[in-house]
Every structure is written in structure tokens, then in C-alpha cells.
Structure 1
Amino acid sequence: MADKSATVYIVDVGRTMGQHHSGRSQSDLDFAMQYVWDKITTTISNGRKTDTVGVIGFRTDYTNNALQADDAYSNISVFKELGQFLMPHVRECTEHLQPSETNRGDGISALVVGIQLIKTFCRHLKYRKSIYLITDGRGSFDTDGLDQIVAQLKSETISLTILGVDFDDAEYGFKEEDKPANKAKTEAVLHQLAEDCSGVFATIAEAIDELVRPRVKEVRPVASYKGTLTLGDPEKFDTAMSIDIERYPRTMLAKPVSASRYVVGPTEGGGVDESMRIDGQGLQAVKQARVYQVPDESAPGGKKDIDKDDMEKGYKYGRTIVPISKIDENVTVYETKPGMEIVGFTEARKYKRFFHMSNTNVIVPQKLNDQAAIALSSLIHTLAEYESYAIVRFVKKANEAPVMIALAPNLEPDFECLIDVQLPFIEDFRPYKFPPLNTVRTVTGKTLSEHRFIPTDDMNVLMSAYVDSMDLSDPSSDGDDFITTEDTFSPILHRVNQIIRYRATHPDSPLPPVPDILMKYSHPPPELIGKSQPHIDALIKACDVKRVTPVLKSRRTREQPKPKSGLDIDELLGISSDQKVRIRISLSNAVAEYKQKISADDADEAVMKEAASEMFNHARELVKTSIADLNYGRARSLLAVVREEMGELEYYGVWNDEFRKLKKDVLGKKLDGDRSDWWEELKRFELGLLEGPREAGGVDWTDAKQFWNP
């Protein structure tokens, strides 16, 4: 279980905090609140009720705190009592955290109010207690009784962090020029206060600069398996080995937070979650419902709903279905017992890295089991000494499919363990074969060692030099490696989190730029580019690389059939090419007239679009006037002709644009009600988007498949 925390933010909102200093376009308060909001929104994103936050303002226009009977605590207000911080609290605190019209209010008294807030809330319970004091140091700070405050902070184990706007910091390299005397005095007092209670004192600019560095979430280790690692059968043989072990994840894929679908709900009642109320409107989570149907002519719409409990599993066997009833379903379960059984050993050099089938895990001895620790340590050292891996049959839970894993020894100065990774079965292995790169085989079977597709020795030497010049493993001029594991972050994961936190507190402001630390590895280091430029220039010259002007893709043209007589039928009938293009397609003879229109000699993309639009409109009209599914087949056949012609002539965009419009009409129920059954018919006959080059309006296979989703 995560530790409980109680954090209080004490923010100076005096009149001077509304001023602009150090050439900033923001006020001092807005500048400081960047840090406060980032900390608060990060706490909100954790979603833990045990992470409590309180907000106090001093130098406010009014007084609202538990000690307000004493005049020393005037102009101090509690904006948010300690408790879970939710989005409605963000809106409320945003309204309160604005520069006031007064400079009255004591910062040390506000610190006392914060201590009292924590003591009242936490009582004698175990909490991680923290207070953050944010100020510009231009207000009042009464030092009377400061020793008692320090003693109370220590006795309550409250960590204090003091962040000042434009405070001097030699380590950070900042010093405010022409500093007012009262501010310099306040800085000295607060610096001594932080030292006395072993707290932190810094200028807030440094804290804000650190915000761009992603904070990696600490994950508590959770065992994925607790059991035995055996060699031999302990139940049959006394010489068999059995070690009590625990298995924990070592590497896991970090994924960005996923979005959920919500709908704006009523402002009052209606079961709206108050924690998700934003700007007076509540959000209701959208729940998906699945309906199972079977064809039934007697049922409305020709389909009958059935319960999930009435269904049974069936397995395809050729073109038939083999049903398995719930009673006999156990025959398909492969009965296994949980455990790790060593089946053999292999040399480490024979193991190929492409065998990896999963994330890695670590195997350690059972906690507080010295005998298991000694036994596992012996196995680890033996594997390391003989440079071998153990091959293990692993079953995680009862009746779960067994997998094969490899155990590799890992020895570090203060830690040792086994690292496991899943191995492929023969069904998982894909031995793809590709033609060699250093030879070319002709159609006659002759093998060539010299060809324009085969690099020469000079090219290989130049390429090797170029690769060496771009080697990132060489230390840079300052002696540090360019890439370290501790400084590599997932750009997508942290950028999404940054945007969510920022949008929560700035719903209408433009999004902040991507931090440089996330873009560090998006481009090669400039010094390496300069270092490798001579090598790449030599390589370009040796390989005779030239820029090729892109050629516009030409459309296919279909040669029109000519009559055996050689006569021009259109000319005999008095039909010009322009008339063929301008003719309107009638529904009674749509297919023939459509093909005639697009076959004109001067039929360009505009003509193709017009003809396709007319055919789609005819299909819409057929569906609109259809009684049940009477006209569905005819409408579908019209679209099938258009799709075939546009695909053959490579006008992918013409079909795709019209088909996207049709989807909106069908799903929007603009074709005289719900015609989703016709849409399913189009899907069944695979009349979807055309796949092809994107420059011609085509889509790839993934987009074509996803298009059918609602």
C-alpha cells in the first residue's frame, strides 16, 4: 500500500506578487504558480485518496483560518482544507490565487496555520508531511518565536521547502540586482529557517526549470510468481533440487495514459460524478453494451437477440463447426500445475538474442529464507562460471499454458539474481530467408559478384568510416556519454502527461512547447553531424548519389474497344466527346451511362468525381425509398461498379472521398432512418476504402480496416 501524504502549499498572493520583474511577461504570481500547479496536477493524476493537499494564501484581502481570532493571523486564508484534490478544487483555487489589493499578512503566521492544518488532519497517524512556502519576500515576516516553530516542524517531522521569486542562489547562478533591503533581510531569515529545520531553500526559477525533466513514476515491486524452482522430481527423488523463489518484473512497457469516452451530463442530479464536474457541467462515463443476434425471419428486422448464457463454444474444423458444450468444455483445458522445472542447460553463446519472446523478469530467493538464498546463489554462480543458461518449463498458474523460459545469471557487487525471458516454440519461430546482399543471381541462374546493386570495396570502406564517425558510444568532449539510461525518456508518455496537467489548469491557453529534454534524441548531435560530414560527402560522390525530381503519377487510361467495321459509332450517332462528358447519368441505365461518361477522351479527374457523385446519389435514393432491404442489392451493385472502375483507373481518392461521405449519411440516419443493415452488407461484400498510394488518395490496409469501426 502506498504511503499516505499530507502536503500544504502556502502561497503569497500580496499586491507585489502581481508585479513583473526580471524582464518576465508574466506576473510574479503566475510565474510561481507554474511550479505549484505542476505539483498539484501530478498529485491529482495519481488518483489516490491518501495523497492529500491543502492550499493557504497569505496577504489576502480577507481572513479565513482556524486562528483568525488572533490579529497576528489576519489576511491569511485557507483556500483548500487538507483532503483529496479534484478538478473542481482546481477551478476554485484558480479564482482565489490572484494578486490581492493589500500587502498586509505575515508569512511566518501563515506557516503556523499550515502546521496547525497538518496537525489537525494527521493527528497521530503516519503521514509523509510537507509544507511548500512560495513568496517574493517583499511582505512581512515576523521572526518572534521562530525557534518554537522550528522545534514544532521537527517534532511533527514536517519537511519544509521555501521557494522564493528572484531569490539569490549562487549555485543556480542568479543574483537580483538592486534588491530592496527588506527583501534581502527576509531572504536571510528564510534561508536560516530552512537550514535550522533541515529543509530546502531555493529560487523558484530553478524549481521551474526542473519541471521540464520528466519525473519517472516509482513502481512498487509485485511478485508475478511465488513457488519453487526444481531440478528433478522432489516427490520421487531425494537428490532432486527444490528452491523457494519469487519472480518480479524487470522490464515493462511504459504506456501513455489512455483516454476514455465521456458525455456531457445534466448539471443537477442524473447520477453525475461530482469529481468530474467542470464549468458547471458534469461528465458521465460512456458504457458499451454488446448485443448478440442470429438470423430469424419471424423477428423484427430479421434478427433475434439472444443471451450470452445461451451460447456455446464452437471450433472451426475445415469448413464446418465442431460445437463443444459447457459440460464437455473441460476437455479443451490442458491440465497443468504451477511451477518452474529445469529441463536442461545450454551454453550462453548458443543462445540468440532474437529468441526473446517477452519482457524480462528477475528471480530472487524467497524473503527471509536463508536456505533458499544459499541454494539459489550456488546455482547463479555455477551458471556464471560455466557461461551457461538454464532452460525451464514454467507454469504460472494452475491449468495455464506452459511456456519455456531461459534463466541467465546476473552478478553485481551487492545483488545477484536470475533473469528470465520467454523462448519461442517451433510454431512461434519464423525463419524468413532473404537473398544475399553481396551477390546477384540472374534469371539464367548465373551468380554475379560485380553489379550496380553490389557495393564496391571502396564504398564499403567509406560506409564503415561514416558509421564510425557517427558512433554515439564514444565519450563527448566533456567525458560524458551522449546516451545514458537515466536520461532517456519516452517522448509520447511524458508529453501526453504534460499536456493533461497543463490543460487541467489552463483550459483555453495554447499548449506549451515540447521540452528539449524530450527532443534530445530526435536528431543526431550537431558535433557528430559536423564530424561525419566529410565522410558522407565522400560516400555520396563514390556512390554517385543524385537528387531525382519526383515525377507526377499518371493515371491509367483504358483503350476503348473498336468495332470490326472500323466505324466511329459516336460520330455516326452525332455524339461528341464533350456531350459524353456532360450527359447526366439516369437511374434506369446507370451502369452503362456511367461507363460511357468516364470513357470519354477528355474525361479528367473532375469528370470522374462528377460521375461517381451521381452514382452515389442514385445509391442513396434507392436506399432511401427501399422498403426494408428491397433495393439494397441494386444500390450495392451501383457502388461496386464505381469502386471497380476507380480502382482500375487509380482514382483512389475519388472513391474514398465519396465513400466517407456515404458513411456519415448512413451512420447519421440521413437515409430515411436506420440503414445500418445496408452498411453491414457493404462491409460483408468488402466495398470499403481503396488501398493505394496516399498521393493518389489511397489508404493503407490498417486505415481501410479501421474505417469500418463506428
Structure 2
Amino acid sequence: MAPTKIDQGTLIILDIGRNVSKTEGKGEKSFFESARECTARIIERKIISQGKNYLGIILLGSKKSTGDFKYIEVFSELQTPTWQMIRNLPDQPTKAKGNWFDAIIVAANHYMNEVSGVKIMNKKIILMTNFEAASYVDREDIEKVLVGFKESGLEIDVFGPDIYSENNKNEDLELARELVEGTNGTTTTFDFIMKYLLFHKKKVVNPTPWNVDLSIGPNIKIPVSAYIRLKDQPVVKNWLASVRDPVTNTASTTEGIMKNKIFVNSENQSVVEHSEVIKGYCYGQEIIPFSECDKSMLYESGGKSLAVYGFTQEDNITWQCLNGDGLSYVFGQKNDKKAQYAIRCLAECLHELKLVGIVRRVYNNGNAPKMYALMPVIDPNFICLSMVGICFKEDIKSIAFPPLNLKKFATTDEQVDAFKELIKAMDLTKAYDEDEFDDTEAFPIAECVSPSAQYVLDCIAFRAMNPGKPLPPPRDDIMMLFKVPPLIEKRSRDPLEKLKNLFELKKVEVRTRKKQTVPEMDIENVAKSDNNENMDDMPKINLDVYNKPNKVYRVGTIDPIDDFNTLKTEGKPLQELYKEMGEAIENMIFSNFDGNYDNAFKAMLYYRTECVKSDPSYYNNWLREFKMELHDRKKNNILNMFSDRKVDFILKEENDKSTFENADEDSQLYEMETMPTLTEVSISTEVNDMFDEM
């Protein structure tokens, strides 16, 4: 039987002896605490990455011994990393001291003799000790070990002390340097490695190609392979369901809840046999049956294919037309030089002619066809085609906005320069250092991790180690990804203040329609007919006749002019009265069913007369918005009544405070802003009226 292939094997030599128990200063961690934390983080990362890795732990300075090697214990053999390894790590150091060089020999022997049935591609030994316990190793032993490690492919890494420090004259550090350099290993301090282990890493997988023939016309077929470049994927793809035993409080993946699926007739609550059930689809509130014989009428997309439908200008494919869940790169199939040359030639031609290919893709038999755009990728290292999904017509919503080339939207040179200063100040390539020669970019593309994914993985690790406890909030390292770099915040402070002074923004108040309050009706005198035999024995309800209340609180729709005068006499501010008057007129028009708008236009003329006496801006602004709303609802019949009823804007000749010198001045602006169709998806007038009545 062929051995199982393992990508990487890691043996961690963790020093727990007396020499690592001391702390350098008050409140600081000891070497043992830092090494234990680093070991736990390495195990956690390998578990979450779900890679084909083996991991083992050897304790240096343990009370137990392995053969002739004293105070060295194989604490955990090479195996798939588990959460139990972290739980079993020792909490306190011992009083013994072990030889770190002997521990490396034990680790090498464990690789050679104790692991069977697997083939480890990359073998690594991580040593965590402060080298304060002397090893007493001869130079000849080091050379012999190096020769054996090179032949077996072992790599020695040293985490913790700085073995290249010039201040430390320890001879063991020199021996450790020789081992690291002789096996092409790495060395780093705990501070640096913990920053590297700060975020979880994705599982490294070999890309799997999607092989198909790229068809161009009836005669040209190019064997190609499509590789996924970017794809939206869940944080955890496969969840292993388990059931927790309430007695032992342990989870089991071999036990589960037995489920039985039955079909019940909703009319008589009887059980229906599976053979008598016909599948169907819900179309609105109606169920359409779909039998086996109807399957012959289904649309067949055909087998796996990638066919070119044609070519179009690259300007026709905008970002609004792109969709899908990722991006793929298309190459000629491996070991087929003719196909590779053909794809390279096609990509160069598309790039030179500024064209894009439109292809129909069927991933596999029975899958629905999708349309994709083939775009050239010209890179110094390779030339290929990129493939990304495009929308169908019904998926595109064309939204037209009013033109901005009007005088009131014109910007000055000073305003444009202010925005340029802000963009320059918020340059992410110089986010952490003011030195113009040092470009330290913040949030680099393809390197910035997802905060949500990191928090989900943190929660998984926390729940594995702390079952039953509430999940913690996101740690500070994750929350830092949401914050603006301090240097950019400092540089952009002055440009932002300058923009605030140059652009005077007015807060737009969104008007909300208030529900009309209906007076409560008393239900009294429920009586039965006693002496009348022809009357049904039904309760009689006497409703009080509604009378207008003596106290008026706001302008209503029954008699808005009288309500306006009453509230004005009581001293209610004109600003509130004008607003209530406009809302009442709108309700009178939009809620009208008989087509008689006399009362509404009388109230509108009275509203205009009152504003001529005081401030015409209230009426003019309201009338402009009201006309636009009528236009949006396509109530052109009411718009035509404005000129017949002589309802128009208050001009400057009537009141000096008005900004309208001519009645047609605002109508031109109104036409320019409302001429384009705002969207292809239009809402009927009946639907709008329905919402107004709610």
C-alpha cells in the first residue's frame, strides 16, 4: 500500500526547564510563558488551516526521559494537530535542565524511526529555548549532524532568542547559528513570530484546472485550462455536524438524531405514500404540478462547453455589466504548445484591437449556461485571457440621473484644488512614514485580510478551548483594520476643514407622510330585536355621528382654510402652518377619487395669498417639489389645471423676497431635471395611490 502523502511535518522542542522560568522585569512574561503561547498559536493555526500537516511536541527539561537522553520527553508524537494538544501543554516550568542538542537528536530519530505509513515532504524542527543551559557539544558532532540533516532534508528553526546578537557571547548560540544556516532554516524572536501568527492563514491548495475546448466557429477548437484567480468563498466550507451529550457534555460525530420524512395531506391530516406524491412548483399562490413526463420538455443546455459567440469593443463591457462570484484565467492546456501559442496570439490580438470576446459557458452536463467576457491579460510573466461573468438584460437596471452641467452645479478652481489636496493627503502608499522615499502602503491589495473571516476563525478557536463560555468581542488587532491610519488622519484634517468652508451643504429634510388620525367611534347600545319577527336575530350597533371637534390641533383636509385661520389666531408659528397646509393639500389631491379638486385648489390659492403677505419662499419651494412629484406619478391632468386655475409661483413683482422674476424660469429648470427617465422600472399610479391611502 502506498504511503500517505503529508505536505509538512513539524516537531516543536519546547523548553520547560528551570532556565526558562525567570522573568526579565516586573510585569513581563518569562521565556516559558512566551514559548508556550507561541506553541499554542502554531498548533491553532495548523488546525484551522486544515492542511495535510503532522505536528508533534518534545519537552526539553521534563522530569521524564527518553532512552539515554535525560530530561527529554516525546510529549506528543507526530500526528494531525488537535485542540487537545493545546489543553495538554504544561502550565508551569520544572526545576530540571535538559540538553537542547540532545533534544534535536531525539526529534531527528523520531522522524526516522517512529513515523511509518506516511511520506512527509517537508520536515521541520522548531527549537524554543534560551540556550542558558549548556549543551557541551563538540565541533565534530555538529558537523556529523549537519551532514545527516542535509541528507534527510531536515530543517532547523530557532524561535525566541536573537542568535545573531553581537552582545551575547554564548557558545551555544554560535552552534545554533551553524545548524540554522547549514539546514537553510529560519530564526526569529517571539515578538516577530507572534506578529506573523497574528492572523489566520488560508489553506494552501493546488489549483485544479477546468479543462475544455474553446470553440470559435464550427471548425476551430483550442484545448484550454481555466484556473480560478478570485472567488467568493465561505470562511469554513464544510461543517462536521455533531451532537452534544447533555450528561457528559461531550460532542460526538458518530451519533445523530434520526429523522423521518413523511408527506401529510393538509385537508384531512392523513399520511400520503411517497409513490403517490407528484412534485410541483409554486407560481405565486398557485401550485403547478410537474410530473415525470414533463421532464422531456425541460431545456437542455448540452454538455461541457466554452463557445465564443462573437467579439465586441471593450468600451461596451462596463463594470455594471459584470457579475458572478469570481475571476478565472484561461491558458492553453499543459504540454500543448500549439494551444498555448494560439491563446497567446488571441490575447495579443484582442489587446491590440481593443476587443472583448463573449462566450457561452456550460460547466458540466446538466448545468445552466452562463455568459462570460474573455478579456486579454498582458503581464510581464505571462499572457492569457481572463474570464468573468456578465449580466443578462433582465439583470441590468439602467438608471439615468439628471444632468449636472448646470450653473448651480459649477465648481470653482479653488474647490477643485481643495479636492486634489485631500486626495494627495490621503495617499495610502505613504500611510505610516512621512519619509517620501519610503513607500509603506496601508491595506495593500491581495495582502489585507478579511476582518469578518478572522473573527469567525477566532470564535471557532475560542469555542474549542472554552466550551460554554460567551464569545469574546473582536480583538484590537482586527478592529485596527477598520481605522484610518493615524498619519493619513493627521494629513487630511486641514484639507477637510478647507472643503467644509468651500462647500456650503444644506441638510435635506426628508418629508414623511403622517397618517391621518381618525376620531374614535363609540360602540354602544347593542340591542336585539324583541318584538319584530321579520328581523334577524342579529346585534344592532349604534354609531355616534362624527362632529368636528371644537379644538383644532393641525390643518386638516376637511376645511383647511378654517383650520389655518383658527391656528393662526391661537399663535401657532407660520412656518409650521405652511408645512401643514402643504401636506393637507397633497393629501386632498392624492387621496381624491371623484376627480373634483375644487377644495384643494381653493386651499392652494389661499396658501399662495398668505405667503405673498409674508414670505413667498415657503410656497414656491413647496410648489416646485409638488409639481415634480405630480410629474413622477404621471398626473399630467392635475398639472394642466395649474394654469387654468391661475395657480403659479409667487413672482418678484408681487413680493421682493421672491427669487422668481418670470414664471417660466423655474419651469425650464424643472424640465431639464425631469426630462430623463429616472429608471426603466416604473411604478404605476395605482400603486402609488395605494401607498398614499395606507
Q: Under TM normalisation by the shorter chain, which class is it? A: 0.5 to 0.7
Find the partner of 1:252 among 231, 244, 266: 231
| Paired residues for 1:310-459 under 5 Å | 310-316=276-282, 320-358=286-324, 359-436=326-403, 450=408, 457=412
Matched, 1:8 2:11: yes
Distance 1:317 1:204, change over 3 A: closer
What displacement does 1:361 show? 0.8
Counterpart residue number, 2:265: 295
**Deviation digits for residues 153-190 of structure 1 (CA, Å, limit 9, x no counterpart):** 112111111223x44555xxxx87xx7x7xx2322222
Asked if 1:222 corresponds to 2:222, the answer is no
Cα displacement (A) at 1:218: 2.5
Deviations 1:650-681 (A, max 9, x none): xxxxxxxxxxxxxxxxxxxxxxxxxxxxxxxx
Distance 1:462 1:308 in 2: 73
1:295 and 1:210 mapped to 2: Cα distance?
60
The aligned amino acid for 1:17 is: V
Letter in 1 for 2:43: I
* Structure-to-structure mapping, 1:269-280, within 5 angstroms: none
In 1, the alpha carbon distance for the partners of 2:464 and 2:118 equals 31
Q: Could you tell me how far apart the structure 2 residues matched to 1:362 and 1:265 are?
A: 48
In structure 2, the partner of 1:686 is none
Deviations 1:551-580 (A, max 9, x none): xx9x999564488xxxxx9xxxxxxxxxxx
Distance 2:416 2:28 in 1: 55
Contact 1:132 1:161 in 2 (8 A): yes
Partners in 2 of 1:541 and 1:192 — Cα distance?
65
Deviation at 1:78, TM superposition (A): 1.2
1:701 matched to which residue of 2? none
TM-score by length of 2: 0.65
Distance 1:121 1:347, change over 3 A: farther
Larger Rg: 2
Q: Distance between the aligned counterparts of 2:298 and 2:483, measured in 1?
A: 52
Q: How far is 1:123 from its partner?
A: 5.7
Distance 1:395 1:58, change over 3 A: same
Specify which of 115, 138, 152 is matched with residue 156 of structure 1: 152
Residue in 1 aligned with 2:449? 489
Tell me which residue corresponds to 2:427: 472
- Distance change (3 Å), C-alpha of 1:431 and 1:260: farther
Which amino acid counterpart does residue 28 of structure 1 have in structure 2? F
Higher mean alpha-carbon deviation, 460-469 vs 147-156, is at: 460-469
Give me the whole-angstrom Cα distance separating, in 1, the residues matched to 2:13 and 2:284: 72
Whether the 8 Å CA contact 2:10–2:56 is kept in 1: the answer is yes
**Contact 2:142/2:175 (CA < 8 Å) preserved in 1?**
no
Instruction: Give the Å deviation of 1:12.
Output: 0.9
Tell me, in whole angstroms, the C-alpha distance in 2 between the residues paired with 1:455 and 1:536: 20
Q: Secondary structure at the match of 1:143?
A: coil
Distance 1:392 1:556, change over 3 A: closer
Counterpart amino acid of residue 103 in structure 1: A
The structure-2 alpha-carbon separation of the partners of 1:365 and 1:510, relative to structure 1 and needing over 3 Å to count, comes to: closer
For 2:273 and 2:29, the matched residues in 1 are separated by 61
**Counterpart check, 1:500 vs 2:496:** no
The alpha-carbon deviation at position 540 of structure 1 amounts to 2.5
Please say if 1:525 is aligned against 2:485: yes
Question: 1:76 and 2:72 equivalent?
Answer: yes
After superposition, what is the alpha-carbon deviation per residue over 1:339-383, rounded to whole angstroms, capped at 9, x for unaligned? 222121111122211111112111111111111112222111111
- 2:231 match: secondary structure: coil
Aligned pairs for 1:125-274 (under 5 A) are 126-127=119-120, 128-144=122-138, 145-164=141-160, 166-167=161-162, 169-170=164-165, 184-212=170-198, 214-223=200-209, 225-234=210-219, 241-257=220-236, 262-265=242-245
Q: Supply the AA of the counterpart residue of 2:352.
A: E
Q: How many Å separate the matches in 2 of 1:472 and 1:463?
A: 15
Corresponding residue SS for 2:110: helix
Match of 1:112 among 105, 110, 113: 105
Q: Do the aligned residues in 2 keep the contact of 1:169 with 1:203 (CA within 8 Å)?
A: no
Q: Cα 1:304–1:24, aligned 2, differ >3 Å: closer, same or farther?
A: farther
Which of 18, 37, 46 is matched with 2:21 structurally?
18
Give the AA of the match of 1:368. Answer: N
Distance 2:244 2:180 in 1: 47
What is the alpha-carbon distance in structure 1 between the residues aligned to residue 446 and residue 492 of structure 2?
27
Aligned with 2:303: secondary structure?
coil
User: Any idea what SS the aligned residue of 1:357 has?
Assistant: strand
Partner Cα distance (1:98, 1:318) in 2:
63
Q: Which amino acid aligns with 1:418?
A: L
Post-superposition offset of 1:483: 4.1
Task: Please name the residue that 1:538 is paired with.
Answer: 498
- CA 231–122 in structure 1, closer or farther in 2 if over 3 Å, else same: same
Tell me which residue corresponds to 1:514.
475
Q: Distance in 2 between matches of 1:511 and 1:561?
A: 51
Question: What letter matches 2:137 in structure 1?
Answer: T
Q: Report the CA distance between 1:323 and its aligned residue.
A: 1.9
Using the aligned pairs only, state the percent identity. 22
Give SS of 2:293's match.
Answer: coil
Contact kept, 8 Å, 1:472 with 1:482, in 2: the verdict is no
Cα deviation, residue 316, structure 1: 4.8
Q: Equivalents in 1 of 2:155, 2:263: separation in Å? A: 62
Corresponding residue for residue 101 of structure 1: 94
Q: Residues 576-615 of structure 1: matches in 2 within 5 Å? A: none
Q: Is the 8 A contact 1:265 1:283 kept in 2?
A: no
Q: Is the 8 A contact 1:462 1:539 kept in 2?
A: no
Report the CA distance shift for 1:461/1:194 in structure 2 as closer, same or farther (over 3 A): closer
CA separation in 1, counterparts of 2:359 and 2:372? Answer: 5
Provide the rounded CA distance (Å) in 2 between the counterparts of 1:227 and 1:430: 33
How far the C-alpha of 1:294 sits from its partner, in A, is 3.5
**1:489–1:89: structure 2 CA closer, same or farther, 3 Å change rule?**
closer
If the length of structure 1 is used for normalisation, what is the TM-score? 0.64
* Structure-2 separation of matches of 1:458 and 1:386: 38
**Aligned partners of 1:133 and 1:81: how far apart in 2?**
16
CA distance in structure 1 between the partners assigned to 2:481 and 2:91 by the alignment: 39
Distance 1:504 1:348, change over 3 A: same
Q: Quickly say closer, same or farther: Cα 1:392–1:17, change in 2 above 3 A.
A: same
Aligned 8 A contact 1:411 1:417 in 2: yes
* SS of 1:410 mapped into structure 2: strand
Q: Quote the Cα distance in structure 1 between the aligned partners of 2:302 and 2:311.
A: 23
Count of residue correspondences = 513
**Structure 2 SS opposite 1:538:** helix
Q: What CA distance in whole angstroms lies between the structure 2 residues aligned with 1:544 and 1:282?
A: 64
Contact 2:415 2:499 in 1 (8 A): no
Q: Distance in 1 between matches of 2:5 and 2:226?
A: 21
Contact 1:459–1:543 (CA under 8 A) maintained in structure 2: no
Structure 2 unaligned spans of 5+: 525-550, 552-694
